[in-house]
Amino acid sequence: MWWDEPETMPKLTISDLDKELRGKNLRPIYFIYGPESYLAATALARIKEAVAKVNGEDAEPDRFSGKANKPGDILASAETMPMFAKMRLIIVSEAHAIKDAESFVKYFERPSRSSTLVFVADKADGRTKFFQALSEKGAAIECKQLYDDKVPDWVRMEAQRLGKSVSMEACRLIAELVGNNMGELAGALEKIILFIGDKKVIEADDVDVVLTETGRKEAFAFADAVGKKDISKAIHILDRLLEFGENEVMVLSLLARHWRILSKAKSAMGKGGSIDRSSLAKILGVNPFFMDGYLGQVKLFTPRELKDGFKRLYLTDKMLKSSKVPKKVLLQKCVRELIVK
């Protein structure tokens, strides 16, 4: 199906895009933007696959740069009928550098029926005429880090693309053990799929085996020890993780995610009234199986300690990326300051 009238287009999530394209609904104009590069690459790959299905083959797209190429060159490609395919795909990177809005506005009103034009940008300035026109007439896909409660849906969608089904319990467990870093999630999913071989469905037991072997469960135990204020255990597991080659920024990211969950739980519980475990688990975006652990840890921290902890985590992240102090020392210092007040 082709969208005949390029009226005001919606904002799409990656899941929305996937559903549309699986339903053979291909739009004439897309705008992919945001800092999450893996998600942007995933969205672009989905559109390329959809165009390839229309054409019956994976033809190379026409590629342009908003910084290096003139609008006339981009539009000439979009308005030219493809010679050996039904559909032409045009990808414009660095779209944030485009200044000449007038050249595109007319095309946005009546786009070619034989082209799909995709603009890609790390950021979008909604004050410019170009981005205002593009956002109005193109389907906008914002690529930002997923919220924790959206990770299971992404895991299910990505596994389906790779030819596998995933139980809901397995989806939640992957989200719990890996977090919301897209690259880490994709890598974990690929390892699980290699492990199960010809098996069609990924179960929680598969996740447990693979992610334990790759050290993710150990990393979760580290964050759990910090949450329990068990400083000796936390430092011991941290040292072991680093000895096994875990990335320091990844370890801090997992700890920051755990801290966010504790902070959200503290806030939810402090609003007064009763809240059942199932509802609280949904608010936190975590598997209900882990709720007892979180509820016990929340009681060990005051709201002030949790708030100050975010400052410590932010500072540590900044220093890991810029300081000459050994990363292991920085992480150990962070752990001590989070636990000992």
Q: Quick one: 178 exposed, middle or buried, by C-beta within 10 A (0-12, 13-18, 19+)?
A: buried
HSE-CB of 310 using CA atoms within 13 angstroms: 10
Q: Could you say which residues of the chain have pLDDT below 70? A: 1-10, 212-217, 271-274, 287, 289, 341
C-alpha 130/C-alpha 136 separation (Å) is: 10
**Which amino acid is located at 191 in the chain?**
K
According to the model, what pLDDT value does residue 303 have?
A: 92
Write down all domains in the chain, each with its CATH number in brackets: 11-142 (3.40.50.300), 145-214 (1.10.8.60), 216-341 (1.20.272.10)
- The neighbouring-strand residues paired with 27 are none
- The neighbouring-strand residues paired with 90 are 62, 117
Q: What is the pLDDT of residues 323-337, one digit of tens each?
A: 889 999 999 999 999
According to the model, what pLDDT value does residue 9 have?
A: 56
Q: What is the pTM of this model?
A: 0.56
CA-CA distances (angstroms) from residue 177 to 298, 305, 310? 19, 24, 21
**What tokens does 279 get?**
């509802």
According to the model, what pLDDT value does residue 19 have?
A: 84
C-alpha 9/C-alpha 147 separation (Å) is: 24
Under a CB-based contact definition with an 8 Å cutoff, are residues 16 and 104 in contact?
no
Query: With b meaning 16 or more CB within 10 Å and e meaning fewer, what string describes 204-230?
Result: bebbeebbeebbbbbbbebbbbbbebe
